[in-house]
Amino acid sequence: MMFVAGCSSDSGDEAETKPSASSAEASASPTTAPAKYAELPKACKAVGKDTIEDLVPKADSETGTAGKSSDVNARSTCSWYGLDGFQYRWLDISLQRFDSDATLGSAESRAQEYFTKQVGEAKSVKGGKDVKNATPSGIGDEAATVRYDITKDGDGFKNQTVVTRTENVVITLNYNGAGYEDAKPPSADELLKDAEKAAKEAVKAVAGANK
């Protein structure tokens, strides 16, 4: 806080020129940069229809299933799943937007912290085997991928997680697949390629929602 020192005076001019305590506090208070993005697209529309058809053949719902949210402009989620013969695919996407806060920090710094948290959670998933991490370029302002194998109810799944930050919005995308019965398991490399493609579309959707 800034203090103004001086001797006492009988002059009435001092009261007019001396800054008040409230104005001094205001000038000393730190300011946070405003949020770049004020809107979120609906998660179920963040990825194109053609991409959904490619990633999740014979999806139970082509429009996706929206998750519950108390504020869809702060958080939006959606998921799809489909079974094509014995090939199963699952895709879910979540969009998390942050505003600037004088106490919590700028919108971008808060998003950066959440990005790091999401990547950490993906790396430490329970039951994940053969975990591999990467930091691809060209997806938002920063991105990370985590891939691993996991067994559920006797079936082996190949899971790909892409976490990306674009300004003050963090996108987390999970994409996994399995070959049921004696079907050939999906290629992890191909799944990751498709997941990154979907993540790039989601980044563009965020920018488009704020034009």
Mean pLDDT in runs of 10 for the chain (211 residues)? 37 44 43 93 97 96 95 96 97 98 97 98 92 97 97 92 99 97 93 98 98 93
Q: What is the dihedral of CA 9, 11, 17, 18, to 10 degrees?
A: 30
SS3 193: helix
pLDDT for residue 112:
98
Domain assignment present for 79: yes
The rounded distance, in Å, linking the Cα atoms of 120 and 134 is: 13
Residue 133 main-chain phi, psi, to 5 deg: -120, 150
How many domains does the chain fold into?
1
Domain assignment present for 76: yes
pLDDT for residue 206:
99
Domain assignment present for 78: yes
Rounded to a whole number of angstroms, the distance between the first and last alpha carbons of the chain is 40
pTM of the complete model: 0.84
The rounded distance, in Å, linking the Cα atoms of 180 and 85 is: 9
Domain assignment present for 18: no
The CATH number of the domain holding residue 164 is 3.40.1000
If we measure between CA atoms, which residue out of 56, 63, 111, 108 comes closest to residue 84?
A: 56
pLDDT for residue 27:
38
Domain assignment present for 3: no
For residue 126, what are the domain limits?
A: 43-209
The rounded distance, in Å, linking the Cα atoms of 189 and 44 is: 25
Domain assignment present for 38: no
Domain assignment present for 202: yes
